[in-house]
């Protein structure tokens, strides 16, 4: 059943958005990841934005607190998906199968938002701590719109620290660490705890990151070297649909991508 066959449920557009903050060539592991998207999703549009192409979609001068490429990327993903919908994927996520599984899950659940939550950060399952490296939504999605608006409140403060202090006055950030870096996570909690209705909440679906994209590293106690050494050590075990590499894991990927051999599709 497709989303179009469920009354009142709009379709998630078949477009994958990503951002790479360098107009120059991408590292091999990033190219490997993006190539996996194309191979697994031949009928999807893959739109990898760079500083040279951002202006087509967002006004980067409209955001005061661009103090790092990561912060700019957070601004970009929320503003683009709130308007256009589709899938946001960080450029370090490898796909081992197409995204039809996600679209089917959304249709069966009658959801218009999909994301992953981190159990290690979550103490209150009414408000699971959403990750921002992969999520999907319909255009003008109510939750993502509230998430974007909560994040854009940064512009009403003189500093990131002032925004964090204000959020903490009313919002339980659970076990989110490094809030200055994970400000987008705080914004999601602000939206979930104070801005959205129960009706919107019922349209949101999420899966546990530790059971999917992070399974390979959780099994090794979050040790990057061990995780990459053992990633392909179980040839009979099918990898999850998505595998998320953090910066510390990417450092263990050799030029020939041998560490990722079991993820080639």
Tell me what pLDDT residue 24 has: 72
Fold of 3-213: Spore Coat Polysaccharide Biosynthesis Protein SpsA; Chain A (3.90.550)
Ordered DSSP codes for 161-228: HHHHHHHHHH---TT---TTT-HHHHHHHHIIIII--HHHHTTEEEEEGGGTTTHHHHTTTT-HHHHH
Query: What pLDDT digit, counting tens, does each position of 233-265 carry?
Result: 877 788 999 999 999 999 898 777 888 999 987
Tell me what pLDDT residue 166 has: 98
**Whether pLDDT at 13 is above 90:** yes
Tell me what pLDDT residue 174 has: 99
Average pLDDT over residues 91-100: 97
| Parallel/antiparallel/unpaired status of strands 93-95 and 86-89 | unpaired
Structure confidence at residue 26 as a pLDDT band (50, 70, 90):
confident
Query: In which element (H, E) is residue 19 found?
Result: strand 15-19
The pTM of the full predicted model, rounded to 2 decimals, is 0.94
Q: What value does the mean pLDDT of the chain take?
A: 93
């Amino acid at each position: 059943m497709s989303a179009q066959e469920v009354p009142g449920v709009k379709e998630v557009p078949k477009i994958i958005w990503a951002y790479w903050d360098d107009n120059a060539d991408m590292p091999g592991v990033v190219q490997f990841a993006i190539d996996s998207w194309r191979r697994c999703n031949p009928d999807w549009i893959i739109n990898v934005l760079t500083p040279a192409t951002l202006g087509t979609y967002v006004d980067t001068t409209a955001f005061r607190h661009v103090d790092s490429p990561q912060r700019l990327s957070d601004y970009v993903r929320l503003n683009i998906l709130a308007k256009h919908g589709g899938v946001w994927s960080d450029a370090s996520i490898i796909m081992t199968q197409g995204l039809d599984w996600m679209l089917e899950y959304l249709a069966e659940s009658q959801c218009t938002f999909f994301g992953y939550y981190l159990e290690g950060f979550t103490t209150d399952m009414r408000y699971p701590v959403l990750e921002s490296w992969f999520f999907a939504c319909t255009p003008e999605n109510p939750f993502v719109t509230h998430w974007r608006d909560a994040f854009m409140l940064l512009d009403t403060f003189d500093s990131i620290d002032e925004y964090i202090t204000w959020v903490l006055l009313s919002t339980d950030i659970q076990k989110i660490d490094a809030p200055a870096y994970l400000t987008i996570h705080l914004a999601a909690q602000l939206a979930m705890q104070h801005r959205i209705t129960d009706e919107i909440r019922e349209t949101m679906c999420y899966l546990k990151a530790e059971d999917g994209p992070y399974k390979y590293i959780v099994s090794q106690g979050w040790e990057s070297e061990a995780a990459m050494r053992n990633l392909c050590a179980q040839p009979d075990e099918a990898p999850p649909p998505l595998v998320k590499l953090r910066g510390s894991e990417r450092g263990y990927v050799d030029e020939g991508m041998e560490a990722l051999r079991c993820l080639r599709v």
